[in-house]
């Protein structure tokens, strides 16, 4: 195996989701390189079926307010509600930058699915580029990726979908080592 191959494969293996980030934002050019890497993902039929909304600065608190105000707390004990709401308010402020990855609409359900898959590949490119830049990255979905008020604030169009919110920043901790099952446990060769 060449040194280059080994380096690329090692980078893929070593990337980890790191949620705890320092307050200091990476330089804008770093963020732009990370997002640019996303655009080199493969796609099918629809040209580059994605776009990105980069949430930074005060926009994080504004979106956090929307997150908190749309929370359904009816099942939570009344005395716990404010704490839960405050946590939700801070959702976007856990990282200096959060990139919303948006998959484009398509003419058919099959094409829409392919667009979603393409945008997921773009998201992984972004995580790998963040890792290469020495940044922390964290892909999240959850309620907020489907919350109508958040979709409206991000101007997500009809038929478009948020594939993920990618938090970016400098890591505040060393990630724990991870493991994966041996590939043989996930592989079947079909040779005839």
- 141 interacts with ligand FMN by CB under 6 A: yes
- 94 interacts with ligand FMN by CB under 6 A: no
The residue count for binding ligand FMN (CB under 6 A) is 8
Kindly write out the interface string for residues 1-30 of this chain, putting x where it contacts ligand FMN by CB under 6 A and - elsewhere.
---------------xx-------------
Task: Report the C-alpha dihedral over residues 161, 164, 40, 97, rounded to 10 degrees.
Answer: 120
Burial of 119 (0-12, 13-18, 19+ CB in 10 A): buried
User: How near is the Cβ of 189 to ligand FMN at its closest, in Å?
Assistant: 25
Place of tokens 């409206």: 152
* Strand 50-56 relative to strand 97-103, pairing: antiparallel
User: How near is the Cβ of 141 to ligand FMN at its closest, in Å?
Assistant: 4
User: How near is the Cβ of 142 to ligand FMN at its closest, in Å?
Assistant: 4
Q: Indicate the residue among 180 and 188 with the shorter CB distance to ligand FMN.
A: 180
Q: 152: left (phi > 0), else alpha (psi -120 to 50), else beta?
A: alpha
- 139 interacts with ligand FMN by CB under 6 A: yes
C-alpha pair distances (Å), 72 with each of 76, 77, 89: 9, 12, 13
Q: Indicate the residue among 12 and 78 with the shorter CB distance to ligand FMN.
A: 12
Is the CB of residue 119 less than 8 Å from the CB of residue 163?
yes
SS3 161: strand
Q: Indicate the residue among 12 and 27 with the shorter CB distance to ligand FMN.
A: 12
- 90 interacts with ligand FMN by CB under 6 A: no
Q: Which stretch binds ligand FMN (CB under 6 A): 29-37, 82-90, 95-103, 138-146?
A: 138-146
């Amino acid at each position: 195996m060449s040194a280059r191959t080994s380096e690329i494969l090692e980078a893929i293996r070593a990337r980890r989701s790191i949620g705890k980030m320092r307050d200091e934002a990476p330089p804008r050019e770093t963020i732009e390189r990370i997002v640019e890497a996303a655009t080199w993902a493969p796609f099918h039929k629809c040209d580059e079926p994605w776009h990105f909304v980069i949430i930074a600065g005060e926009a994080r608190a504004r979106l956090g307010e929307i997150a908190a105000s749309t929370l359904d707390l009816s099942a939570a004990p009344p005395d716990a509600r404010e704490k839960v709401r405050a946590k939700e308010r801070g959702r976007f402020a856990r990282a200096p930058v959060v990139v919303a990855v948006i998959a484009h609409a398509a003419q058919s359900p099959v094409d829409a699915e392919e667009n979603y898959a393409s945008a997921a590949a773009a998201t992984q490119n972004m995580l790998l580029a963040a890792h290469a830049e020495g940044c922390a990255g964290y892909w999240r979905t959850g309620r907020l990726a489907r919350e109508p008020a958040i979709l409206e604030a991000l101007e997500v169009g009809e038929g478009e979908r948020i594939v993920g919110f990618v938090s970016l920043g400098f890591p505040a901790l060393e990630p724990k080592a991870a493991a994966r099952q041996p590939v043989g446990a996930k592989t079947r060769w079909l040779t005839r």
